[in-house]
Amino acid sequence: MLSFLMVLIVIAAILLVIIVLAQNPKGGGLAQGFSGSNQIMGVQNTNKFLNKATWSLVGFIAFVSIITAGMKMNDESADENKSGLIEKAKEAAEKSNEVPKTALPFGAANPASEAPAK
């Protein structure tokens, strides 16, 4: 899922570069070819469209970037929790392999450690 979102960000960034290059800061650019007043999409409409497309792509990239960062943080915390659980399981397995020492009164012999007398 993260790789899909990253691909979307790259595609949106490429489109953003193309739209920004199509604009001319002095009012020309793509709009220069539409100087006739009877065109369907005149100079003003072209500039409005490019401006809206630019800001829409910027907003999309920012939104998807925030979502991607949040998902990445959740994945990292899940990995940390998994590694912590694995370590706890290993420790529990090591403790279960140890022979528990029973509390004996002072001076009493441990029957398991003494060999039977014959």
In tens digits, the chain (118 residues) has pLDDT values of: 888 999 999 999 999 999 988 887 665 555 555 555 445 555 566 778 888 999 999 999 999 999 999 888 877 666 666 666 667 777 777 776 665 555 555 655 555 555 555 5
Asked whether residue 105 is domain-assigned, the answer is no
What range defines the domain where residue 52 resides?
Answer: 1-25+45-75
Asked whether residue 68 is domain-assigned, the answer is yes
For residue 113, give the 3-state DSSP assignment. Answer: coil
Asked whether residue 99 is domain-assigned, the answer is no
Asked whether residue 19 is domain-assigned, the answer is yes
Residue among 67, 72, 55 nearest 12 (CA): 55
Asked whether residue 102 is domain-assigned, the answer is no
Identify the pLDDT of residue 48.
Answer: 84
Identify the pLDDT of residue 38.
Answer: 45
Asked whether residue 80 is domain-assigned, the answer is no
Asked whether residue 35 is domain-assigned, the answer is no
For residue 85, give the 3-state DSSP assignment. Answer: helix
Which pTM does this prediction carry?
0.52
Identify the pLDDT of residue 7.
Answer: 94
Residue 16 CA to residue 44 CA, distance in Å, equals: 20
* Total number of domains constituting the chain: 1
